[in-house]
Amino acid sequence: MLETFKKGILTGLGLIVVTAEELEKKVNQLVEKGKLSTEEGESIVREFMQKSEDQQKDFQDWILNTIKSGRERLDLAGKEELHDQEARISSLEDRVSTLESLQMKESKKDSP
């Protein structure tokens, strides 16, 4: 499923790049024909790129929020929660090991 998201995002980015290149070509043609000034052409391309970046960021935020919401609905643990659980398990393993070691020492003392 993540691969599908990646492919969709990359396809979208590819379309933006191709569209930006095509827009730039068209704007350059209009500048060469004298229908737009160089400054107007640069402004159009810059505005398009800014809007594309804004839309890309909005889309990424939407994807992240959708994934986060889905994770919460499924009650899946996040990275921090997993890290905390790993730390607790490690601490418990250390305590069990210490108790086992003490128990072995005690049983050796008790045996003749």
Residue 41 near residue 31 (C-beta atoms within 8 A): yes
112: pLDDT strictly greater than 80: no
1: pLDDT strictly greater than 60: no
Where does the pLDDT of residue 12 fall: very low under 50, low under 70, confident under 90, or very high at 90 and above?
low
- Provide the greatest CA pair distance for the chain: 106
When comparing pLDDT for 83 and 16, which is higher?
Answer: 83
Rounded percentage of the chain residues whose pLDDT exceeds 90: 18
Q: What is the pLDDT of residues 38-90, one digit of tens each?
A: 898 888 888 888 888 888 888 888 888 888 888 888 888 888 899 999 999 99
pLDDT at 52: 80
2: pLDDT strictly greater than 90: no
**Domain range summary for the chain, segments of one domain joined by +:** 1-76, 77-112
Where does the pLDDT of residue 97 fall: very low under 50, low under 70, confident under 90, or very high at 90 and above?
very high
Query: In whole angstroms, what is the distance from residue 65 CA to residue 63 CA?
Result: 5
